[in-house]
Structure 1
Amino acid sequence: MFITFLKFSDNRAAAPDFMAAHNDWIAQGFADEKFLCVGSLEPAAGGAILSHGESRAALDARLAADPFVVHGIVTAETHEIDAKRAIPALDFLKAPA
């Protein structure tokens, strides 16, 4: 499982120009069943993505295609989480023992 922080850069003023494409990119991540949760970093600092089900290389390629990343609106910082405990509904996130 990965958590990615999309932090606004100095080019954040361009975000409205690419918001529709960014939202389409997010929708594709859900359609591909790779994104589990997407939300905003508060206060207005960017966004975060919880993802699962693809390699780090595949996720990095997916992130590189985000229009916000392509146009320098955000920078992506990804961390891998090796889940050891979870509520039953999230057991699929735990690595096999």
Structure 2
Amino acid sequence: MFVVTLKFADKAKAPQFMEGHNAWIRRGFDDGVFLLVGSLQPNAGGAILAHNVTRNEVEARVEQDPFVAEGVVTAEIIEIAPARADDRLAFLAA
């Protein structure tokens, strides 16, 4: 499982790439890779919880985000090896 942070590097460019970024997020959900997407507060960027992919696959997916490709954000990928989870999230530890 991975936590991806997308921190603003050039927020002024965000509006022109927002449509592509949102389409990229939709694909992540449609592909069953993204579990959660949200904003980093206060207004610092975004974060994604991803699973069912290898590190190489998540890195390749992140590089396809127009925000990353165009320098709107910088990405950091943190890998987590789940050991314990609440029953509601047990599928993550499987």
TM-score, scaled to structure 1: 0.94
**2:53 matched to which residue of 1?**
54
User: What residue ranges of structure 2 are gaps of 5+ in the alignment?
Assistant: none
1:1-97 matches, cutoff 5 A: 1-9=1-9, 11-95=10-94
User: What residue ranges of structure 1 are gaps of 5+ in the alignment?
Assistant: none
TM-superposed CA distance for 1:85, in Å, is 1.1
1:72 alignment partner, SS class:
coil
Percent identical pairs in the alignment equals 54
CA distance in 2 between counterparts of 1:12 and 1:89 reads: 36
Q: 1:27-51: CA deviations, max 9, x gaps? A: 0000000000000000000000000
- Across the aligned residues of Structure 1 and Structure 2, the Cα RMSD in angstroms comes to 0.8
Where do 4+ consecutive residues of structure 1 move more than 6 Å?
Answer: none
TM-score, scaled to structure 2: 0.97
